[in-house]
Amino acid sequence: MIKINKDISGLKESATLAINLKVKALRDASKPVHHWGFGQSPFPVPVEIQDELKARTAHKEYLPTMGLEILRKVISKYYTKVLGLSFSFDQVFISPGSKELMFQLFYILEGEFLIPTPSWVSYLPQLKIKNASTHFIHTQESNQYKVTPSELEAACDKLKGRQITLILNSPSNPTGQIYTEKELKALAPILEKYSVIVVSDEIYSQVDFNQKVSTSVASFYLKTIITGGLSKSYSAGGYRLGFMLIPKELEELIPPLKSFISETFSAVSAPIQYAAVKAWDTKCSDVFTSIETYTQVHKIIGGYYSLRFAEMNILTPKACGSFYLFINFDYYKEKLNSLGIMTSTQLSHYLLDQLGIAVLPGVDFYREQGELSVRVAYVDYDGSKIVDKLKNEKLSLDLVHLSYPQIKEGLDMLEDFLTTL
Ligand SMILES: Cc1ncc(COP(=O)(O)O)c(C=O)c1O
């Protein structure tokens, strides 16, 4: 029997992967599935980035630990241009996905970690690997699942005197909500009071339905570390390229992070780093045009799902960004309970087994099991198809319905099921 580190062996397989396997098995058996479980952007990687990657395959050298200098420069310039934030290139780290660097950062930070829920699935397991002390802040649907100043104050007050790190994710996976400037400004004095370190996960920052880039807490609070990358806005999760911006106020973190990287992944693949320059170089307007189009499609589809859910008495704040909605079946609780559905896990299994609709249970996003909530990802379609059509046609909900009839079909099926309850 091999002895395995208990902090790792206690981790369960990611919920997302498990549901994908079940969906794959159903599809292999030719069973129709509405896959609302998997959050991968359906669009092509902007062609300029693909072309640059093809042109850079000869780059075989190890690149610097912190990343390719010109890439770090375009990212820092991009942040200055779009958000007015001044990070110099030597405050930028490049990593194989933002997830990896987040893990390394969590590993080197001591103290207490605050995680608002519903939360992205991976923060907690990453912190559990190092046995960190973690605390949930249970946010409310009525506040669009955003932490309020009083909730933050209460959480920080309990940890007074200790080093506190807050993980904020806006636009959010799983809720599709985005903190407004006003909301972030209201949090800043509390962050200041408890000298909180903020890790601001902004991987969906360009998937914002109201502005080109989401407002960052870094604009109002200096001790903010930003993470981002190619995976979501640029539809290139498999390229595995992310970044982290460390502010001057936290520059003590730079040397240990650099050492950690040099002893682990060393550096990100060279061709990918060269290709990624195109993603944040503000002169590459075609790339930005593509990703703005992708966001407009997400907006139309997210708006449609929000509307349909509201008509079905399913509780959810309106879609504002990312490509998820966190929905609550509280209105149907008694009826669902009478079918033996008492937990969000049972609800997800029921929806998949009986309706062929795959969603992830709220409990995987650290909500109470008894809360009948699930996450819906509304990206189960081939994005290239609509991108092609948009060369000749204008984007509209009708065009979406024509291109992807399965979207309406899945929602109709759910509605039919709820009306017969
Ligand atoms: C909220 C959130 N943060 C971070 C990540 C990780 O992204 P990356 O591909 O950059 O590692 C994801 C990916 O699913 C995510 O949804």
C-beta of 231 in contact with ligand 1 (< 6 A): yes
Burial of 77 (0-12, 13-18, 19+ CB in 10 A): middle
Do 30 and 117 fall within a single domain?
no
Query: What pLDDT does residue 38 have?
Result: 86
- 233 CA → ligand 1 middle, Å: 11
- The reply to whether omega before 271 is within 30° of 0 (cis) is no
Do 399 and 414 fall within a single domain?
yes
Return the residue whose CA atom lies nearest to atom 14 of ligand 1.
39
Do 167 and 246 fall within a single domain?
yes
Domain assignment present for 54? no
CATH number for 170: 3.40.640.10
Helix axes of 149-158 and 181-193: crossing angle, nearest 10 degrees: 20
C-beta of 229 in contact with ligand 1 (< 6 A): yes
Query: What pLDDT does residue 360 have?
Result: 95
What's the rounded Cα separation, in Å, for the pair 376 and 381? 14
Query: What pLDDT does residue 11 have?
Result: 82
Q: Which of 99, 241, 365 to mutate to test the pocket of ligand 1 (most atoms within 8 A of CB)?
A: 99
Domain assignment present for 52? no
Contact 241, 96 (CB under 8 A): yes
- Atom in ligand 1 nearest the alpha carbon of residue 96: 11
Do 234 and 301 fall within a single domain?
no
Single residue among 249, 281, 313 that ends a domain in this structure: 281
Do 22 and 98 fall within a single domain?
no
What's the rounded Cα separation, in Å, for the pair 127 and 133? 8
Do 318 and 391 fall within a single domain?
yes
Query: What pLDDT does residue 15 have?
Result: 62
Domain assignment present for 53? no
Domain assignment present for 51? no
pLDDT at residue 415 tops 90: yes
Do 237 and 196 fall within a single domain?
yes
- Residue 283's CB is within 10 A of a number of other CB atoms, namely 8
- Atom in ligand 1 nearest the alpha carbon of residue 237: 9
Domain assignment present for 222? yes
Contact 366, 118 (CB under 8 A): yes
What's the rounded Cα separation, in Å, for the pair 28 and 259? 45
- 335 CA → ligand 1 middle, Å: 36
Helix axes of 405-419 and 285-311: crossing angle, nearest 10 degrees: 20
What residue type is 10 in one-letter code? G
Closest by Cα among 115, 302, 141, 127 to 209: 302
> Residue 227 contacts by C-beta under 8 Å, 6 or more apart in sequence?
98, 101, 102, 199, 200, 201, 202, 203, 242, 243, 244, 245
Do 273 and 300 fall within a single domain?
no
Which pLDDT band, with edges at 50, 70 and 90, does 53 fall under?
very high
Do 259 and 368 fall within a single domain?
no
CATH number for 371: 3.90.1150.10
Do 343 and 375 fall within a single domain?
yes
Specify the pTM.
0.97
Query: What pLDDT does residue 126 have?
Result: 96
Domain assignment present for 193? yes
Give me the domain span that covers residue 307.
6-44+286-419
What residue type is 173 in one-letter code? N
What's the rounded Cα separation, in Å, for the pair 369 and 98? 29
- 421 CA → ligand 1 middle, Å: 36
Domain assignment present for 383? yes
Query: What pLDDT does residue 171 have?
Result: 98
Beta bridge partners of 137: 116
Share of the chain above pLDDT 90, in %: 93
Domain assignment present for 188? yes
Residue-wise pLDDT for 311-359, tens only, equals 999 999 999 999 999 999 999 999 999 999 999 999 998 999 999 999 9
Which pLDDT band, with edges at 50, 70 and 90, does 367 fall under?
very high
Over 283-343, what HEC string results? Answer: CCHHHHHHHHHHHHHHHHHHHHHHHHHHHCCCECCCCCECCEEEEECHHHHHHHHHCCCCC
CA-CA distances (angstroms) from residue 355 to 23, 34, 39, 410?
Answer: 12, 9, 20, 9
What's the rounded Cα separation, in Å, for the pair 365 and 175? 10
Single residue among 266, 281, 296 that ends a domain in this structure: 281
C-beta of 202 in contact with ligand 1 (< 6 A): no
What's the domain count of the chain? 2
Do 113 and 232 fall within a single domain?
yes
Single residue among 250, 281, 312 that ends a domain in this structure: 281
Do 334 and 403 fall within a single domain?
yes
Which pLDDT band, with edges at 50, 70 and 90, does 16 fall under?
low
